[in-house]
Amino acid sequence: MSVLVVGSTALDSIKTPCRLNPRLLGGSASHAAVAASFFAPVKLVGIVGDDFPRRYIQLYRRHGIDLGGLQLASGKTFHWAGEYEVNMNNRRTLTTELGVFETFTPNLPEAYRQTPFVLLANIAPALQHQVLNQMRRPRFVVADTMDLWLNIALDDLLKLLRRVDALVLNDSEARQLTQEDNIIAAAKKIHRLGPKYAIVKKGEHGALLSSPGGMFISPAFPLNKVVDPTGAGDSFVGGMVGYLAGRSRGAPDAHLKRGMIYGSVVASFCCEGFGLTRTTRLTREAIEQRARLLERMVRF
Amino acid sequence: MSVLVVGSTALDSIKTPCRLNPRLLGGSASHAAVAASFFAPVKLVGIVGDDFPRRYIQLYRRHGIDLGGLQLASGKTFHWAGEYEVNMNNRRTLTTELGVFETFTPNLPEAYRQTPFVLLANIAPALQHQVLNQMRRPRFVVADTMDLWLNIALDDLLKLLRRVDALVLNDSEARQLTQEDNIIAAAKKIHRLGPKYAIVKKGEHGALLSSPGGMFISPAFPLNKVVDPTGAGDSFVGGMVGYLAGRSRGAPDAHLKRGMIYGSVVASFCCEGFGLTRTTRLTREAIEQRARLLERMVRF
């Protein structure tokens, strides 16, 4: 089955202690869509400006991503610039230029509206609502978000939470959303806001799932060296939802745990290159191999 | 088989945002010995002053701990006072009064010298050396340490590392010891300093084992509420080595992974009460039950 992915389609300028990489393909939807594409057909919803390099369109196409919902507008593509510290955990946003996203109204092609799996990747909750409004009874809806929306669009986000099956967010966002310092308690509180499944990302420490079936502790794949963590969270959720869509039998939640493992694996590859440079060279076999390695590292 | 535990035997005054608990039984050896006692017979090496409450001696005895190596000296028992912040992760030392530890020379009873498992719990590396010097070909030696010894006794510690099978330390200590920012890389570098097994503790995020057989990612048991994390690391290593000693068949390293799981379980109970108050009320059955729960939380 296929996955609809909406989120930001952007150009990222990423500065690390070693390198500056201007205008890489980035954005939550780009990372999530490419990650999901290894497991299931993907339909992309987003907007780019007339400065968007043709080679990035080709990159989406190489991954078989349906671009019927990608608007090409006159103006500038969303541009984000950020800088990482030496430890690669702390990052600072240098620039956020919304460009064509400022006036974006997602308008889904007819063929998109029955997509069974919907990934509302990180973007303004109002846009996530607009996409959901156009869908016909999706099987499983996952939303990702970020601290920015907790700060400036909390009401929209809270309304959204009542419409999704699963919420994905990082540990500090989970604390902020629930006003709860302990992240286990925070994860459990999220259910009261709507989502049946709460997934808390902890970066290099993995992720936690709180579900009606109990907690699941998902490991991160241990990396000796992180080149660029930008998009790792988006890759995680993209790989996870892609995996769910790729399993045609059984309830989606039955596959969620293994989906998190595959999400972690794609996220680990993402961190090994700037932007999407490593992820885009992946094969399903390389993913399977690392998933087996990871599985061995948690067995006892 | 039995375990020899050397480390600090102390009185801890622990302040949390909710409570002040003066003069609880504490110290690395107390936590580690009680944790180990659920799995194997324990022989304790340490020193206490004449202010050491008799009920704490009784507590050791209730756990079947051999006190033949516990010296009773005239003077004050080692006293540590610390304060936790609201998030229970950051702690500040308020007082460290060494008392009778200032002049402590471990002198092992003859019956101790053939103990097959040795846990050098956190204490000055010079004392860890002195204990090791008195042992006759132990089967498996594990050392724990802390940032203090990296700062003031690094040479002693480095010499010790060439004499132990496994080193246990936390993530920031692993970074400091190896001058390596990435903890996976740090864990791997530790082998060059001597230990065949490097175990990096990450508190609520679990622990990592780097060994000749590869990495093992050990989860922490998820707790809704942490009452007092003092001694959790000592309980982890105590439970782990106790578990190893309790398995009479096979090479010790074959049981190390499951030992880390049991260590995590005992550590999680430790965090649910002040000092040793929760740990001391444990039963082997309660530990087994939580270990099964934890095992279920990592299966996929």
Which residues on adjacent β-strands are paired with residue B21?
B14
CB proximity A296 to B under 8 Å: yes
| A216 inside 8 A of chain B by CB | yes
- From chain A, pick out residues whose CB is under 8 angstroms from the CB of B295: 300
In CATH terms, the fold of domain A3-298 is UDP-N-acetylmuramoyl-L-alanine:D-glutamate ligase (3.40.1190)
Do the Cβ atoms of B214 and A260 come within 8 Å?
A: no
Q: What pLDDT score does B251 carry?
A: 77
- How far apart (Å, rounded) are the C-alpha atoms in residues A63 and B111? 68
Measured CA angle at B150 (ends B89, B15), to 5 deg: 30
Give the chain A residue whose CA is nearest to the CA of B85: A181
- Scanning chain A, the segments in alpha helix (DSSP H) are 28-36, 54-62, 125-133, 147-152, 154-161, 171-178, 183-190, 232-246, 256-270, 284-298
Q: What is the pLDDT of residue B250?
A: 79
User: Which of A86, A200, A217, A272 has the highest number of chain B CBs within 10 A, making it the mutation to test binding with B?
Assistant: A217
Average pLDDT over residues B279-287: 98
B224/A184 Cβ within 8 A:
yes
Q: Which pLDDT value is given to residue A246?
A: 95
- Judge whether residue B3 has pLDDT over 90: yes
A205 and B CB contact within 8 Å: yes
Confidence of residue B191 (pLDDT cuts 50, 70, 90): very high
Share of residues in chain A with pLDDT > 70 (%): 100
Q: A6-61, pLDDT tens digit by residue?
A: 999 999 999 988 888 999 999 999 999 999 999 999 999 999 999 999 999 999 99
Best mutation target among A218, A295, A298, A299 (most B Cβ atoms within 10 Å) is A298
Residue A137 neighbours by CB under 8 Å, 6+ apart:
none
* pLDDT, tens digit (0-9, with 9 covering 90-100), for B235-258: 999 999 999 999 978 777 779 999
pLDDT, average across residues B99-106: 95
User: Averaged over B279-286, what is the pLDDT?
Assistant: 98
CB contact under 8 A, B300 and A261: yes
**Number of residues written out for chain A:** 300
Quick one: closest CA in B to A86, which residue?
B181
- Picking from B66-75, B84-93, B135-144, which range would have the lowest pLDDT averaged per residue? B84-93
pLDDT at B88: 73
- For residue range A66-88, what is the model confidence (pLDDT) as tens digits? 999 999 999 999 999 999 887 77
**What is the pLDDT at residue B198?**
98
For chain A, say whether B86 makes contact (Cβ under 8 Å): yes
* Per-residue pLDDT, A85: 83
Lowest mean pLDDT among A211-225, A247-261, B157-171: A247-261
Picking from A184, A222, A226, the nearest residue to B222 by CB comes out as A184
Chain A contact for B250, CB < 8 A? no
Q: Measured between CA atoms, how close is B87 to chain A, in angstroms?
A: 6
C-alpha triplet A205, A287, B292: angle, nearest 5°: 45
Contact call for A217 and B216, based on CB within 8 A? no
Angle at B146 between CA B145 and CA B152, to 5 degrees: 105
* Mean pLDDT, chain B, whole residue set: 95
pLDDT band at B18 (very low <50, low <70, confident <90, very high): confident
pLDDT mean over B160-188: 96
User: pLDDT, tens digit, for every residue of A99-153?
Assistant: 999 999 999 999 999 999 999 999 999 999 999 999 999 999 999 999 999 999 9
Cα dist from A160 to A4, A153, A155, A186, B41, whole Å: 17, 11, 9, 18, 56
Q: Report the range of poorest mean pLDDT among A93-97, A242-246, B189-193.
A: A93-97
Question: Distance (Å, rounded) from C-alpha B127 to C-alpha B107?
Answer: 10
Predicted local confidence at residue B90, as pLDDT: 79
Contacts of B229 in chain A (CB under 8 A): none
Instruction: Please state, rounded to an integer, the average pLDDT across all residues of chain A.
Output: 95
- The whole-number pLDDT of residue B85 equals 84
Within 8 A of B290 by CB-CB distance, chain A residues are none
Q: Is there a contact between A300 and B206 if contact means CB atoms under 8 Å apart?
A: no
From chain A, the residues in CB contact with B185 under 8 A are 224-225
- Length reported for chain B: 300
pLDDT at A149: 96
Nearest to A138 by CA among A110, A165, A159: A165
Q: How confident is the model at residue A269 (pLDDT cuts 50, 70, 90)?
A: very high
State residue A86's pLDDT score.
77
Q: What is the mean pLDDT of residues B127-142?
A: 97
More confident residue, A90 or B273: B273
Residue A224 in contact with partner chain B when CB distance is under 8 A: yes
The 10 Å Cβ neighbour count of residue A14 is 25
pTM for the predicted model, two decimal places: 0.94
Task: Count contacts between A and B (CB, < 8 Å).
Answer: 77
Tokens of A272: 């090994």
Q: Which residues of B touch A206 (CB under 8 A)?
A: 205, 217
Mean pLDDT for B2-16 is 96
Q: Give the start-end residues of each E strand in B185-230.
A: 197-201, 207-211, 214-218
Contact (CB<8Å) A216/B298: yes
Parallel/antiparallel/unpaired status of strands A20-26 and A42-48: unpaired
